[in-house]
Amino acid sequence: MRLALLFISLLLATFTAQAATSDAIRATDRLMQNYDGNVPGASLLVLKDGKPLIRRGYGLANLEQHEQASPATNYRLASVTKQFTAAAILLLAEDGKLKLDDSIRRWLPSLPATTGKVTLRQLLSHTGGLIDYEDLMPADTTEQLNDNDVLRMLSATPKSYFAPGTAYRYSNSGYVLLGLVVERASGESLPAFLQQRIFQPLHMDHTLLYVHGGPEVSHRAYGYSEENGAWKRTDQDLTSATRGDGGIYSSIDDLAKWDAALYDDRLLSDASRKLAFSPHAKVTGEPYEASYGFGWRITGDTLWHSGESIGFRNVIVRWPKQHLTVILLSNRNGPEPYQTALKIAEQFGAH
């Protein structure tokens, strides 16, 4: 009798859990309905204890070819790239090839003497005070900037926003320079280093740092912006060719492997992960409460980062204590997905 009651209670618990998950999936589909149909879409992954509760695409990855978005669709990650650039620096620190407190001028000596006290550690946490390269671009620029263009512009200006280490200001310039440091310290190109040290070991087989003229992106999503009620392809702009701050393409399937690696030492040591996930600076000038680690924002129990470039809006939000992750990648200029990801997570018990 006792065994029968136990069996019935287990069945009821399983049925209740399945019903709750079904309700959460229906609620998530409602939250994602703007991405569905013949419009630029999104790919969504909800992971709990390493298992996908939702793994699907909505809408279209390519309007012109009418290609559906799927879990294998590769999106330009934009600033979600920064956590990979930070990981590359941490790997080189583990290798003894560089130190986090190295001056940026040790590796990039063309920079002005005024940057002599700016360290790699400060660039990782956006506290270096470097001028935004977007603000240094000549008004008549017609060609896409590359990383060496950014280095040349920064080398020609002695200005800074503040003394290094005294304040926070989000800096694409800093992460472009960090990507160049990876090359100088490793002797490899940035795409090759990321491929050999991160993507291949984790079997992120369809992820790459895209460079024009290099390997093409498979299952590529193209970016779109809504203009006067119609969708226009806006896949690249003048700042879409820089690398360390935003150039990686990846899918939710490959990012699931990245998420898994952040729970153990298969890629980064425990000490390196603690550095990445520790608050080094209080975020200011952004519309949310957060601290900044190395390539990660930290809000309460969440580790997260958004990515925004012309035609793409992405976010990864992790609740490590709950072993829950939501990844939402989209090939459109709106809506900003962070709040949607938080609402989706609530359906699956995030708190």
pLDDT digits over 277-299, tens only? 999 999 999 999 999 999 999 99
* 28 inside domain: no
Q: Per mean pLDDT, which range of 48-57, 136-145, 184-193, 249-258 is the poorest?
A: 136-145
* 21 inside domain: no
* 29 inside domain: no
Structure tokens at 343: 């609402």
pTM summary value: 0.94
**pLDDT: which is higher, 341 or 2:** 341
* 14 inside domain: no
pLDDT digits over 305-320, tens only? 999 999 999 999 999 9
Q: Which domain holds residue 157?
A: 36-347
Q: Per mean pLDDT, which range of 129-143, 188-202, 204-218, 247-261 is the poorest?
A: 129-143
Measure Cα distances from 67 to 48, 64, 87, 205, 236 in Å.
29, 8, 33, 21, 19
Q: What is the pLDDT of residue 13?
A: 41
Q: What is the pLDDT of residue 22?
A: 85
Q: What is the pLDDT of residue 143?
A: 87
pLDDT digits over 69-97, tens only? 999 999 999 999 999 999 999 999 999 99
Cα–Cα distance between 335 and 269 in angstroms, integer?
36
Q: What is the CATH number for 162? A: 3.40.710.10
- Read off the pLDDT of each residue in 321-342 and give the average, rounded to a whole number: 97
Residue given tokens 């012109």 in the structure block: 64
Domain count within the chain: 1
* 23 inside domain: no
* 31 inside domain: no
Instruction: Decide if pLDDT at 6 tops 80.
Output: no
Q: Say if CB 315 and CB 327 are below 8 A apart.
A: yes
* 226 inside domain: yes
Q: What is the pLDDT of residue 3?
A: 56
- Report residue 17's pLDDT band, with 50, 70 and 90 as the boundaries: very low
Residues that are catalytic = 79
* 67 inside domain: yes
Cα–Cα distance between 128 and 118 in angstroms, integer?
6
Cα–Cα distance between 21 and 25 in angstroms, integer?
6
pLDDT digits over 156-180, tens only? 999 999 999 999 999 999 999 999 9
- Report residue 5's pLDDT band, with 50, 70 and 90 as the boundaries: low
Burial of 309 (0-12, 13-18, 19+ CB in 10 A): buried
- Report residue 1's pLDDT band, with 50, 70 and 90 as the boundaries: low
Q: What is the pLDDT of residue 238?
A: 76
Instruction: Decide if pLDDT at 11 tops 50.
Output: no
